[in-house]
Structure 1
Amino acid sequence: MIRTNKLVSFLEENDLDGILIHNPANIFYYSNFKGTSGSLLMTKTLNYLITDFRYVDQAKASAIDFEIVETDTIETIDIAINKLRKKHKLYKLGLEGDVISRNTWLDYEKKLTSRLVNVNIDHLREIKDQKEINLIKKAIEIAETAFLDTLNKIKIGMTEKTVARILEFKMLELGAEAIAFNTIVASGSRGALPHGVASDKLIAKNELITIDFGCVYKGYCSDITRTFAIGKIDEKLLEIYDIVLQANKLGIKTLAANQKACYVDQVVRDFISDNGYGDNFGHGLGHSFGIEVHENPRLNQISNKTLQSGHLLTVEPGIYVSGLGGVRIEDDVLILDDGIEVLTSLNKELIILEEENV
């Protein structure tokens, strides 16, 4: 009900009679519907889920507070919306212009009798409620348990892809419904690739390995990164690891309600620069996540967002040196009124797997 009330307030503030929602994340947020074909038409008093024959039963079971409207090749979505427009006097209708294609927008403009207004409602999902936090905590627990299990199974000579598959299978075995994103396994010099998705490269001794991983549990994501070692590591990489670890801790310490997101990023960026690696940290410090693995607010140099209690953010500084390798350490942190709660619990000190054991 709180979610719906926020949306109604948004409609009132923007002088809208209703909104047509196409973003799958927003559809799930308001209705709990996860079918691959469906739209929501939400008004100030009544809500509809519009879908086709394939998903009607699923819609009835999941979207219990919505009236289900079935469409087909004859009773198309625009016809259904126009009928509801007449019934509820929906003269001015919000439409997520950054979600649908230009051709879809033009088609709606031609066929719908409501005046269309381009809107974005993603910001209404920024503050996480307790139910969401609990689901995210479970997604984190599954991912962390799977990671620790995977550490015991890594062998020299395995491909990065094999490591990723072991980790992903364990997350699914522990109750995840899906993988949150393509698992990153970047070993050796490939560690210099911030998004080095697992490849056919073989795991070798005397290398760092960065794994960026997460899963989806009941619709909500986790997102964690750890870097660890096999055997003896180059002194420069050990130095880099320590800098990134201190940067991670500094970022977490700087997070607070009423703090500017760009300030948190700048504090960490300055620390890394002061240690000689400013040019090797080329991405933002972090981002929010929930139903989607990348949500707002972002911790970067241009985000003027003021952090609030209920914001849930990653803190993931990294240093990447071409030809040598890289390090990233990522934690998930919840902003509270009177502080923070670090939701990730994995050890951050450098884990070194002994050669004879792998």
Structure 2
Amino acid sequence: MQRLRAGLVGRLRSCFVRTQTWQQATKYVSAVASDLPRRNGWTIAEYVGDRSPDRVQRLLNRAVWDTDAAMSVVRRFVVDELTTAARRRRRGLVVGALDETGQQKRGTATCGVKRQYMGCAGRVDNGINTVHLSYVREGVGHALIGARQWIPAEQIDDVDTAAAMGLPAGLRFGTKGHLAIDICADAYADGVRFDVICGDEVYGGCTQLREFFEQREQAYVLRVACTFMIESGARVRLTCQQAVQQLVGRDQWEVRSAGTGSKGQRWYAWAQIATASPHHVLLVRRHLGTGELAFHYCYQPQGQRAGVTRLIRAAGLRQGYCVNLVTLCDGVDELG
């Protein structure tokens, strides 16, 4: 692990003009990747041997480096290392998992902070949300390869607020779906390829994101709301809820595992509903205990492998591997 970390920070050197800034960033990375129970300015300073948090805060608040280039380096590094590891095993699916992570924050000075639903807290609270993309290799591992912070429109549109928060001139508001397009476009530009892209309802409900993937012949399995409209094979428009009500008999449901979780295999009943498009299906997941339903709108390009097994594997990988950044960001209030 130390060898891999050293290789990564070595590649990052070109993203920094000053050697001292890169060296401080190297120390910061070592602290963030450590087993510190809480990561804040003081604990990181103590871990890396600094007298105070000043150097860490200077790195995060005022130091200059090419953040886009750094993210590209990380992205290429992750893909290279996981691809190398996968060569020693039977090839599994390569999944891009879109998700967002909330972080509670007090005050109003930090860009992006507002009262909104925070998944980390399970309620509406003051905080920020960040959209991220994980690169998942089935049976090998996963890592983050892209991220964009969601900034509310009212902060961007208010000139005084935007200036006080340090928002760049010309910044335009983007929904989480639009941010996902930007993140995936960066990944494609770096040569990253996925068998399937997965995401929850925030992304499945974004028409522009689905069109973006379909224009690039990118297969996807995206969660959608029960009110999401599909066109059935009989050319009738139905909500997902209405479509599943037309399933008759147990033989249209198949019990399969969505993968291994913390308590063993995650078993669900699954059904596949055809649509008017030969490339789109609705995949329905039913909880065996509660009967709760989850809907996945799926796209398979011409000539690519189809089948419910592949779709279930992809949906299960997203559910099992979406990375939670709450622990990583713990204590960031004191960092700036």
TM-based fold match above 0.5 = no
Q: Which one scores higher on RCO, CA 8 angstroms, separation ≥ 6?
A: 2
**TM-score between both structures, scaled by the size of structure 2:** 0.28
